[in-house]
Amino acid sequence: MAIERTLSIIKPDATRRNITGLITARLEAAGLRSIAQRRFFMTRQQAEKFYAVHAERAFFDDLCDFMASGPVLVQVLEGENAIARNREVMGATNPANADEGTIRKEFGESIEANSAHGSDSPENAAIEIAFFFSELDIVG
Ligand code: ADP
Ligand code: MG
């Protein structure tokens, strides 16, 4: 297995409930190391660009409004198989379908407000990390 990097976003529903530490603890317990962090308000334009792949979906406008509705905590995670590992610990997109013990099952409020994002492939991880961080921000 390879050491990988992936992009994690703790979404506005979770920053609002002050559970960024709880969620990050789950990521750390899964062997993922947070090697860069930024907490900020994502603009709607940034959300539209970040989720451009979903632009044609019915939920796109609501999703972009939601992502710009409060602060996010964006992190680069590093570890063995980090991309798949992060998605395993997050659980299924819809918290109602997520396995017990996953972040989305435990903390997600709805299919939209599901507390966490994780890159879905090495290609997208590289694109998403570069969208928010410069190499100088990442301290492994
Ligand atoms: P994932 O975040 O698990 O990779 P997707 O890439 O399919 O899931 O969707 C991106 C985000 O869009 C989801 O995390 C969720 O916040 C939102 N979303 C996905 N599907 C829906 C839906 N049917 N209704 C509302 N929001 C959705
Ligand atoms: Mg996705």
pLDDT computed for residue 120 by the predictor: 98
Active site residues per annotation = 117
Interval between CA 134 and ligand 2 midpoint (Å): 22
pLDDT computed for residue 54 by the predictor: 98
Give, for ligand 1, the residue of 6, 111, 121, 127 to mutate: max count of ligand atoms closer than 8 Å to Cβ. Answer: 111
> For the chain, which residues score pLDDT lower than 70?
none
Q: What's the pTM? A: 0.98
DSSP track, the chain: --EEEEEEEE-HHHHHTT-HHHHHHHHHHTT-EEEEEEEEEPPHHHHHHHTGGGTTSTTHHHHHHHHTSSEEEEEEEEEETHHHHHHHHH--SSGGGSPTTSHHHHH--SSSS-SEEE--SHHHHHHHHHHH--GGG---
Q: Whose CA is nearest to atom 8 of ligand 1?
A: 93
Interval between CA 87 and ligand 2 midpoint (Å): 10
pLDDT computed for residue 45 by the predictor: 98
pLDDT computed for residue 14 by the predictor: 99
